[in-house]
């Protein structure tokens, strides 16, 4: 069963396409169910015999695999690009490696293309685009009969325009055809209110050349010593302290929610492996 916002957005997208409009942009907060929405729109277009084929593009293999599973379930058919499949899910990287025969085949199909996390694709002309944006503009924009772009964050830190998006004049604000905000998702019980807790230490000491210095905070330490933030991240005592707090909090939560899990963000793959080993050996945590 669709959530209210998914049903509203799907209705609006279908109406949009029937009015001879081609590119629909939906902004919905992360975790709200954009993939199910996309599959619903695809299903309605197929049921109305408006399209023959569905292609989905996303930033990573894991996301592409999740999209494939959702579309297979929602459309009740194969979605692996094989014989008899109604479509397939790919990464943006793969666009550069399709053979000419693939593009010739698409020209003979009524095509619906879905762009997940479209903000990764930048540029309004091939010359000004990043690598993924160029592929979308040059190869996909003109062969698709309908397109659906999805994003949770419709902007880029480099201020470059998002591919195929429209912007207001003169404000330069992106124009979304449908928006579902975090506030709405929290009210609907779809997402939780994010809670960020900052942890500092008012009793830091550093020994250098047999001389010990004390600091009242991490900021104070960074300002008045030669230590870098990276050295704190990799400090064994600091890491044990923070991981210990995290494990303690997770155990509290698990008394109410037994299958709760934790997330640790590392600075590199090597750092992540050190953290993993610490969690296993010192805190008896599975990872």
Enclosing domain of residue 238 = 204-283
In a domain, 193, yes or no: no
Q: Are the CB atoms for 31 and 192 separated by under 8 Å?
A: no
Tally of CB atoms within 10 A around 32: 20
Report the alpha-carbon distance of residue 287 to residue 277 in Å, rounded: 9
- Split into its structural domains, the chain has a count of 2
The answer to whether residues 164 and 114 belong to one domain is yes
**Tens digit of each residue's pLDDT (9 = 90 or more) over 92-147:** 999 999 999 999 999 999 999 999 999 999 999 989 999 999 999 999 988 999 99
Instruction: Please report, in tens digits, the pLDDT of each residue of the chain (287 residues total).
Output: 899 999 999 999 999 999 989 999 999 998 899 999 999 999 999 999 999 999 999 999 999 999 999 999 999 999 999 988 999 999 999 999 999 999 999 999 999 999 999 999 999 998 999 999 999 999 998 899 999 999 998 888 888 899 999 999 888 899 999 999 999 999 998 887 777 888 877 778 888 778 888 888 888 888 888 888 888 889 898 899 999 999 999 999 999 999 999 999 999 999 999 999 999 999 999 99
How far is the CA of 48 from the CAs of 6, 87, 207, in angstroms?
19, 17, 73
Residues 211 and 150 placed together within one structural domain of the fold: no
In the listed set 127, 162, 187, which residue is the last one of a domain according to the structure?
187
Residue 93 in domain: yes
Task: Indicate whether 8 and 87 sit together in one domain.
Answer: yes
What percentage of residues in the chain have a pLDDT greater than 90?
A: 72
Q: What is the reported pTM?
A: 0.76
- Residue 121 sits at φ, ψ, to 5 deg, of -105, 115
Query: Could you tell me if residue 264 is inside a domain?
Result: yes
Per-position b or e across 54-80, b if 16+ CB within 10 A of its CB: bbbbbbeeebbeebbebbbebbeebbe
């Amino acid at each position: 069963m669709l959530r209210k916002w998914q049903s509203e957005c799907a209705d609006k997208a279908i109406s949009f396409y029937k009015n001879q409009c081609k590119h629909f942009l939906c902004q919905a907060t992360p975790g709200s169910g954009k993939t199910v929405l996309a599959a619903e729109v695809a299903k309605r277009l197929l049921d109305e015999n408006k399209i023959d084929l569905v292609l989905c593009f996303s930033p990573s293999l894991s996301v592409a695999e999740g999209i494939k599973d959702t579309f297979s379930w929602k459309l009740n058919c194969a979605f692996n690009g094989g014989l008899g499949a109604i479509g397939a899910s790919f990464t943006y990287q793969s666009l550069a490696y399709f053979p000419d025969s693939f593009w010739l085949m698409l020209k003979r199909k009524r095509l619906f293309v879905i762009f997940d996390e479209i903000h990764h694709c930048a540029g309004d002309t091939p010359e000004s685009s990043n690598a993924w944006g160029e592929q979308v503009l040059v190869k996909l924009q003109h062969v698709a009969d309908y397109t659906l772009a999805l994003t949770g964050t419709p902007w880029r830190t480099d201020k470059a325009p998002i591919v195929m998006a429209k912007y207001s004049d003169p404000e330069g604000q992106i124009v979304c055809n449908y928006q579902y905000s975090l506030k709405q998702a929290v009210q609907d019980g779809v997402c939780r209110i994010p809670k960020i807790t900052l942890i500092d230490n008012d009793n830091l000491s550093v020994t250098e050349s047999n001389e010990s210095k004390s600091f009242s905070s991490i900021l104070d330490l960074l300002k008045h010593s030669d230590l870098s933030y990276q050295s704190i991240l990799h400090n064994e005592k600091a890491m044990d302290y923070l991981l210990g707090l995290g494990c303690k909090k997770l155990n509290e939560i698990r008394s109410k929610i037994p299958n709760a899990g934790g997330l640790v963000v590392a600075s590199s793959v090597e750092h992540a492996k050190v953290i993993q080993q610490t969690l296993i050996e010192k805190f008896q945590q599975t990872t």
